[in-house]
Amino acid sequence: MNDFLNHFVKCIPSSPTLAMSEQANHLAKQGIEVINLSVGEPDLPVPEWVRTAAMDAIIRGEHEYTPIAGLPELRQAVVDKLVRENHLLGYQPSQVIVGNGAKQVLFNSCMVLFQSGNEVIVPAPYWVSYPTMVEMSGATPVIVGCPEHDGFKLSAERLRANIGPKTRGIFLNSPSNPTGAVYTPTEWRDLADVLLEHPDLFIICDDIYEHLVYDPYHFTTLLEIEPTLKDRTLVVNGLSKSFSMTGWRVGYGVGPAAIISGMTRLQSHSTSGASCIAQWAAIEALNNPQSQSFLQQRKEIFEKRRDILVQGLQDIMPVQSPAGAFYVYANVLDMMKQKGVQSDLDLGQAMLKHAHVSGVPGTEFGLPGYMRFSYATSEDRLHKATERLQNWATQTPSS
């Protein structure tokens, strides 16, 4: 049979977590309950007024193709949100694109901005798709390790040391997936000073976890600290994490008009516009005054869950309490030695097999020796998961 796959697709590695998922499914078929702490998806419902807006749109007959870049009403709602919540002024709806989730917006930006011969800085730990998206554009990801003693955050010194003549772009993600790290205004200021020295470097700010930042921290985006970077920054966000609208697939990007225009032309030849029903729901989510109290309540729920998970893990492995998102990035080096395994991938398999708890190995995120646990699940399941892990930690390596 002919081999029709192109070279790049052949080189895309299979995710080790897929094997873990298969093992988890196998255990489930045997009647064994597996507690899945690997999924970055809120388990809480979409707010009632957002669901109602979607149903109202269906009843009105909103079933046609939308403009490629999104409904005008939604693009205006994004502009209004930026002014109201982020103090970002001067954007026009023509500088907004709506995609099928923030992931599509990020992918489109890489296709438009980068090409062969370019290098793109990707701080690690990183969200798993950043490097692959860069490679798909033809560019080369430059992975910059951000160690735990720096709070898993990129320092100005490391940034400056990794910018070279081929550097075209950088990904910045705060709050971070997988670590929950949040950049402070002072840290943004230090990074901005370096970025100002390199006017040919484009910045992609992934703000998808914006509404999950816990006291005493506060969310700021880079452009609040240095507005002059506006002409070479794309701000990416969406409604999946904040409003639990993961399957609704609504994300957006805000940036220079020429970049948004290029992304729109690209999107016109791939998916076209996002779901019209989901877009009308997103308008309601962004515009309805009830949303602010809703987001505050959600944050309090996740903060309580964070504390449960961190307290449960601290007895068995070093772990920092994250400032944002809904992940804990736990150091499992000592546990690897204790269990006699060579990698966090092996530890993840053993943890699933013996403790029936699933996490994501740090190798997936470019910084091995860690395990990402999600607390986007119920308090009861978090208590049960940490109890299982504590029990397993006291057992012999063969157990």
Spell out a b/e string for 123-144, using b for 16 or more CB atoms within 10 Å of the CB, else e: bbbbbeebbbbbbbbebbbbbb
C-alpha closest to that of 281 among 68, 42, 70, 44: 70
| Distance between CA atoms of residues 205 and 195, nearest Å | 13
Residues 6+ apart with CB under 8 A from 394: none
User: Looking at the predicted structure, is the pLDDT value of residue 1 above 70?
Assistant: no
C-alpha closest to that of 114 among 318, 263, 307, 265: 263
- Average pLDDT over the chain reads 94
Comparing 13-17, 134-138, 238-242, the range with the smallest average pLDDT is: 13-17
The pLDDT of residue 32 is 87
Q: What tokens appear for 192 in the block?
A: 């901005």
The pLDDT of residue 377 is 94
Q: What tokens appear for 163 in the block?
A: 């910018």
**Average pLDDT in the 309-335 region?**
96
C-alpha closest to that of 243 among 218, 270, 211: 211
The pLDDT of residue 2 is 64
| Distance between CA atoms of residues 69 and 42, nearest Å | 27
Tell me whether strands 251-254 and 233-238 are parallel, antiparallel or unpaired: antiparallel
C-alpha closest to that of 399 among 109, 19, 359, 391: 391
Report domain extents, the chain.
1-399
User: What's the DSSP call for residue 71?
Assistant: -
């070093």: which residue's tokens?
318
**Average pLDDT in the 252-279 region?**
97
The pLDDT of residue 380 is 97
CATH topology for 1-399? Aspartate Aminotransferase; domain 2 (3.40.640)
**Average pLDDT in the 22-47 region?**
87
User: Looking at the predicted structure, is the pLDDT value of residue 398 above 80?
Assistant: no
The pLDDT of residue 40 is 85
Residue 190 carries which side chain, given as an amino acid letter? D
**Average pLDDT in the 313-340 region?**
95
**Alpha-helical runs (H) found in 62-184:** 72-86, 102-113, 129-136, 156-162
pLDDT in tens, 54-100: 999 999 999 999 999 999 999 999 999 999 999 999 999 999 999 99
Residues 6+ apart with CB under 8 A from 76: 93
The pLDDT of residue 16 is 64
| Distance between CA atoms of residues 139 and 23, nearest Å | 35
Q: What is the dihedral of CA 277, 281, 284, 285, to 10 degrees?
A: -160
Q: What tokens appear for 247 in the block?
A: 């399957």
